[in-house]
């Protein structure tokens, strides 16, 4: 994928999550079962970096589990970050920062530290181009403790007939099929108005190869979520 096309798709998603932050958040008032399964494993005293933190549901759940560690949530959507800050648990070491995960370097925004746990739920599938996905995962490795855990989930919307009906042709935004990568899709949105999102549909093997190419290894994987219990694919990563 050409860099200018990747940037166009990033801007498309930025516009979507800024315009529909409230409406999107209302569809995410409850955590997916796979996310809950992961969060229930996280030690109460550890450091957590939440990539694409959205409306802050992760730290809310951790706090209910008695979490006493440090939590940093990052997202590019100020609308979602504002909602996260409004629901921030009391008496916890919680902070939020605005960060575009496709940025070359995260050091100007993030503290010069590493984390015991890095979560990246339902976010990686919004990153266009192999180059940018690889860059993001290298940053995950940079910020993950050598004995830390990364918890990743990606959307498997193709397993739902209802969701497949939301696929739009690329010509809707003036692109040709050969300008995007295999597995790239444009999805319709109709809550609170009309919008569109870019999504990359991962094969589990593709996600595993991405981890390996960036100094990480898959130690566990499972499917969860949705009406069929398979709309989210989860992987647990460790350093190689």
3-state secondary structure of 238: strand
User: What value does the mean pLDDT of the chain take?
Assistant: 89
Structure confidence by residue, pLDDT tens digits, 151-163: 999 999 999 998 8
Structure confidence by residue, pLDDT tens digits, 177-232: 999 999 999 998 877 677 889 999 999 999 999 999 999 999 999 999 988 899 99
- The DSSP secondary structure of 12-39, one letter per residue, reads HHHHHHHHTHHHHHHTTSS--HHHHHHH
The DSSP H or E segment spanning 11 is: helix 3-19
Which residue intervals of 123-238 are DSSP H helices?
130-143, 161-164, 204-213
Structure confidence by residue, pLDDT tens digits, 34-90: 999 999 999 999 999 999 988 788 998 998 889 999 999 998 877 777 777 766 665
The pLDDT, as a whole number, for residue 33 is 93
The pairing of beta strand 216-224 with beta strand 93-98: unpaired
CB 35 within 8 A of CB 236: no
Please, what sign has the CA dihedral across residues 108, 110, 111, 117?
A: negative
- The DSSP secondary structure of 122-150, one letter per residue, reads S-GGG--SHHHHHHHHHHHHHHEEEEEEE
The pTM (predicted TM-score) of the whole model is 0.90
Q: How many angstroms separate the Cα of 148 from the Cα of each of 19, 142, 144, 145?
A: 35, 11, 6, 5
Integer Cα distance of 124 and 138 in angstroms: 13
Structure confidence by residue, pLDDT tens digits, 81-136: 777 776 666 566 888 898 899 988 888 889 889 999 999 999 999 999 999 999 99
What are the chain's domains? 3-156+202-239 (3.40.50.150)
What's the length of the chain? 240
- Provide the CA 222 distance to its chain's centre, in angstroms: 17
Reference 85, options 99, 101, 97, 69; nearest CA is 97
């Amino acid at each position: 994928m050409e860099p200018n096309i990747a940037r166009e798709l990033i801007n498309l998603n930025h516009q979507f999550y800024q315009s529909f932050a409230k409406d999107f958040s209302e569809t995410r008032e409850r955590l997916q079962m796979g996310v809950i399964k992961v969060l229930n494993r996280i030690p109460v005293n550890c450091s957590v970096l939440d990539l694409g933190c959205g409306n802050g549901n992760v730290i809310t759940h951790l706090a209910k589990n008695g979490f006493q560690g440090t939590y940093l949530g990052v997202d590019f959507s100020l609308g979602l970050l504002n909602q996260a800050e409004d629901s921030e648990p009391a008496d916890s070491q919680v902070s939020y920062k605005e960060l575009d995960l496709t940025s070359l370097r995260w050091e100007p925004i993030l503290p010069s530290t590493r984390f015991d746990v890095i979560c990246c739920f339902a976010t990686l599938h919004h990153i266009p181009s192999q180059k940018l996905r690889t860059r993001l995962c290298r940053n995950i490795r940079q910020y993950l403790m050598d004995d830390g855990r990364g918890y990743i989930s990606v959307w498997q919307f193709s397993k739902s007939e209802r969701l497949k009906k939301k696929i739009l042709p690329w010509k809707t935004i003036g692109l040709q099929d050969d300008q995007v990568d295999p597995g790239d899709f444009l999805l319709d949105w109709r809550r609170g108005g009309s919008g569109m999102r870019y999504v990359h549909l991962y094969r589990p093997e593709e996600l595993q190869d991405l981890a390996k190419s960036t100094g990480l290894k898959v130690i566990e994987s499972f499917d969860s979520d949705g009406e069929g219990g398979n709309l989210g694919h989860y992987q647990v990563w460790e350093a190689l």
